[in-house]
Copies of this chain bind each other. A is one copy, B any other.
């Protein structure tokens, strides 16, 4: 249920609605848009007719709208304007196209520092890198842990690039939050509800990857877990879904980009590296993602992909990343996006 307040409603009228909800055992989530204020009341559909009438009688209330979609806080109905998330000087979800780039996993100082410098020089806005890595096999590299976070922090110190990294365990959230600017919840954890609750209680943006067999509705419901805990800074990331096609590692579902823009106010970026699993497909799919309306990209870059401890096959070299950024600029312009890429 959504309570839409009148355009010119007063502060007190809003708190009165919240108070009345609270007396009925409900909780209202406030959304102050540019044009008007909207109050999301979760968990009460179908709403009782009495409650609806009672609320519509309150001063300042324009209308009470039942919602049939199972997600609310993440829906376009709840918040018509795009959510724009600020990370230092970078805006995600606005006119600017955001490029997050870096190695799959932080491995060595040399690797992290050289990659950070290279992606910054080519025009990336945010540095990505994994310290805690989920791995299908217990015998594979699982990341450097806090050591990896320290390497990333050093790279941020030098380049000024904000950081995004994955967090795997609820108990690591606090530690990771100290080092980085955006917390990533990986595809395998999209329905790890304990972790979603935890990152929902943090005051940092969360990058929520789509689960490999998650429908768009389930994905928005996972976002809803985070939003419902109070953290409104969620960035969605399409990274491919699992299908019968096995030439690619996953099937990148670019339809998700305009669908999310239609259903939700949250920004959506695309990860063509995991989405295809092959470096030579990253560039064409990155261009396609931007043309489809993505708010940004997440790209794996590695100084020597052949010797990467993780996911080398899908990483771009510095040179290939630079070439991609050069190709990206005119496509971004063609769809009226700003991009901070250096001229070739």
Interface size on A, residues (CB 8 A): 67
Which one, B139, B213, B241, contacts A43 given CB within 8 A? B139
Query: A247-274 interface mask toward B, CB cutoff 8 Å, 1 = contact, 0 = none?
Result: 1100111110111001000000000000
Tell me whether B168 and A171 are in contact (CB under 8 A).
no
Q: Closest CB of chain B to A87's CB: distance in Å? A: 25
Which residues in B have their C-beta under 8 angstroms from that of A255?
Answer: 247-248, 251-252, 275-276, 281, 285
Tell me whether B193 and A168 are in contact (CB under 8 A).
yes
Is A293 an interface position by the 8 A CB rule? yes
Is A84 an interface position by the 8 A CB rule? no
Residue from the set A139, A217, A245, A258 with the largest chain B CB neighbour count within 10 Å: A245
User: Which residues of A, 211-255, contact B by the 8 Å Cβ criterion?
Assistant: 212-213, 215-218, 221, 224-225, 228, 241-248, 251-255
Which one, B138, B292, B333, contacts A228 given CB within 8 A? B138
What residue of chain B has the Cβ atom nearest to residue A135's Cβ? B193
Tell me whether A291 and B331 are in contact (CB under 8 A).
yes
Which one, B135, B188, B244, B247, contacts A243 given CB within 8 A? B244
Which residues in B have their C-beta under 8 angstroms from that of A280?
Answer: 258, 262
Binding site for B on A (CB under 8 A): 42-43, 70-71, 134-139, 142, 168-171, 188-189, 191-194, 212-213, 215-218, 221, 224-225, 228, 241-248, 251-255, 257-259, 262, 275-276, 280-281, 284-285, 287-293, 327, 330-331, 333-335
